[in-house]
Amino acid sequence: MKTYDLTVGAAQSGMRLDVYLVAAELGLSRRKIRQVIDVGGVYVNRKRVRIASRQVCRGDKIRVEYSESSLKTIRAAEPQLAAEALLYEAHGVVAINKPPGLPSQATKDQSVMHVVPSLEALFKSLGRPKTPFTLVHRLDKETSGVILVATSAARATWLTDQFRERAVRKTYLALCYGVAKSKSFTERAFLTEIDKRSGDVKVVRAGGRTAVTHFRVLSENKELGISLVACHPETGRSHQIRVHLQLNGLPIIGDKRYSGPSKRPLPAQLAELSSLHHFLHAYSLQFAPTAGSKPVLVNASMPPRFINFINASGLLFDASQV
């Protein structure tokens, strides 16, 4: 186990946590620093922090501790697409079940795999011809589920237009802290763009973009204070569902940015299941693959941890109720 203790000085105040740690010359690359943060090896003022973009302040006491074996586990577990991730393939449209942890698009770290090169690698492994893929829309890195990729610019434009015109029906599943006051409700709010410094989306009274999401509670465990919620967003703003659920006292379990500490800590088994990624899953998309065609409904199975959490928590999932 390697351990470092640091104190933030005046000159470093306001820096991102990962940038500060790289500047501290611990002998770790920025990518490795982020891995240490991901495995829970960084503490700020004795509190574990898992958000690399968190700003540090003068006087903050920071501890970094990790083992090489824990980082090897993270590297080995980097998500990849398997053949069963292919959900739909026709008319120049490919739908895949994106695993949690796989970025939708390229990040600043060019060594990190994302959807398009991962799909290219899958096609190559299956002996399929090289195909020019274009990402149609995005999911947050930790969000799993249906995502569409086009094989031509024209098809990408056709699909993008459907999203813009709100012709695509989207259904998400979320595991949340809290129990809703109503079984069905709608949230309308003005949201900002993602703040470049903090990475947060905020609710504003004016100046933001309208965001609308309809929610329905599918199951709840009042003793544990948790719920399974179906989410139907009309609009497609960044972090929309995550922010809307937080506004209604139902932050997503495992959401490092918007959930905050739970008033009722989860049992150890459930806490472990929620430690790697938040529980938001793009369960289905309904879209028209071509002009004049009937809408196609594509469903994506939930990730193993999502299913295991539902089973272990006593929540119930009935696909016919979504």
- The alpha carbon torsion through 204, 205, 206, 212 (nearest 10 deg) reads 80
Q: Residue 92: what pLDDT?
A: 96
Q: If pLDDT is split at 50, 70 and 90, which confidence band does 263 have?
A: low
In the residue annotation, 140 being an active-site residue is answered as yes
Q: Residue 76: what pLDDT?
A: 47
d(CA 198, CA 15): 10
d(CA 302, CA 21): 35
Same domain, 70 and 179: no
Give per-residue pLDDT as tens, 8-34: 999 899 999 999 998 888 888 888 888
Strand order in the sheet with 61-66: 2-7, 61-66, 42-44, 47-48
Q: What is the CA radius of gyration of the chain?
A: 20
Give per-residue pLDDT as tens, 282-312: 999 999 999 989 999 999 999 999 999 999 9
Same domain, 48 and 102: no
Q: Residue 27: what pLDDT?
A: 83
Same domain, 51 and 194: no
Give per-residue pLDDT as tens, 228-260: 999 999 999 999 999 999 999 999 999 989 987
Same domain, 89 and 157: yes
The domain that holds 258 is classified in CATH as 3.30.2350.10
The domain that holds 40 is classified in CATH as 3.10.290.10
Neighbouring CB atoms inside 10 A of 6's CB total: 17
**Which of these is catalytic: 18, 38, 60, 140?**
140
Q: Residue 111: what pLDDT?
A: 61
Give per-residue pLDDT as tens, 91-111: 999 999 999 999 999 876 666
Q: If pLDDT is split at 50, 70 and 90, which confidence band does 201 have?
A: very high
- Percent of all residues in the chain with a pLDDT value above 70, rounded to a whole number: 95
Which residue range(s) make up the domain with 170? Answer: 83-321
Same domain, 247 and 112: yes
3-state secondary structure of 63: strand
In this predicted structure, which of 79-83, 85-89, 181-185, 216-220 has the lowest mean pLDDT?
Answer: 79-83
Helical ranges in 25-170 per DSSP H: 30-38, 68-76, 115-125, 153-164
- Percent of all residues in the chain with a pLDDT value above 90, rounded to a whole number: 72
Q: Residue 66: what pLDDT?
A: 80
Q: Residue 261: what pLDDT?
A: 66
Q: Residue 41: what pLDDT?
A: 86
Same domain, 51 and 168: no
Does residue 166 carry a pLDDT above 90? yes
Contact 201, 192 (CB under 8 A): yes
Q: If pLDDT is split at 50, 70 and 90, which confidence band does 73 have?
A: low
Give per-residue pLDDT as tens, 37-72: 877 889 999 888 888 888 999 999 999 988 776 665
- Number of domains forming the structure of the chain: 2
Q: Of 76, 107, 133, which marks where a domain is finished?
A: 76
Same domain, 65 and 119: no
Same domain, 40 and 93: no
pLDDT averaged over the chain?
Answer: 91
Same domain, 87 and 71: no
Mean pLDDT, rounded, for 128-142: 95
Mean pLDDT, rounded, for 203-209: 91
C-alpha closest to that of 162 among 170, 172, 152, 151: 170
Q: Residue 264: what pLDDT?
A: 75
